[in-house]
Amino acid sequence: MINQAQLKRERLRFTNFVFHRAPSGTCRSEVELEWMEGERVVGKAEGVTSTLGDLRVAADAALRAIEMFSDGSLRFELVGVKTMRAFDANIVIVSVLATHGGGPQQRLLGCHLAEDDPLRSAVVAVLHATNRVLGNFIATR
């Protein structure tokens, strides 16, 4: 049964993140998001492992999970992901192009502190970047 708190939920909940590097020089990431109790989506991405490649694969998996949640109504393209030093802290910043239906593309930016786990921070930066677009989608769902 859906309770009142779930009906008012405006965001997906980030529930799990898995990242694997293979000896072959590739990497794979899975991001799990939950809408309501038991309603989960998993986004997956693969690529070549490198410092920036790993960040890109992690961020891309988050975008794929959001697309799955929207049943393809929302489409995202990862323009770039980068770590940088700002205000005496390491951050991950992402740039994303978003499309909803036949509308124009929107450029979105998101960032997150990357002190402990830059890969996980790339996922959270994607969630920050897409928060408003996703919130509007959920409000009309």
pLDDT (tens digit, 9 = 90+) per residue, 35-68? 888 789 999 999 999 989 999 999 999 999 999 9
The CA-based diameter of the chain, rounded to the nearest angstrom, is: 48
Q: Over range 16-20, report the average pLDDT.
A: 95
Instruction: Select from 66, 128, 129, 127 the least CA-distant residue to 97.
Output: 129
Q: Is the pLDDT of residue 98 over 50?
A: yes
Q: Is the pLDDT of residue 137 over 90?
A: no
Whole-number Å distance between alpha carbons of 141 and 137: 6
The CATH number covering residue 91 comes to: 3.30.160.270
| Residues facing residue 99 across a β-bridge | 75
Phi-psi region of 103 (alpha: psi -120 to 50; beta: other; left: phi over 0): beta
| Comparison of pLDDT for 105 and 4, the residue scoring more | 105
Instruction: Select from 15, 29, 8 the least CA-distant residue to 127.
Output: 15
Three-state SS at 100: strand
The amino acid sitting at 83 is T
How many domains would you assign to the chain? 1
Return the H-helix or E-strand segment holding 86.
strand 74-86
Model-level pTM?
0.89
Three-state SS at 135: helix
The pLDDT of residue 123 is: 96
**Domain with 50 in it:** 4-139
Three-state SS at 141: coil
When pLDDT is cut at 50, 70 and 90, the band that residue 10 belongs to is: low
The pLDDT of residue 1 is: 43
Q: Among the listed ranges 2-11, 76-85, 105-114, 127-136, which one has the minimum average pLDDT value?
A: 2-11
The pLDDT of residue 8 is: 55
Is residue 98 a contact partner of residue 133, using CB atoms and an 8 Å limit?
A: yes
Q: How far is CA 115 from CA 8, 61, 89, in A?
A: 32, 21, 7
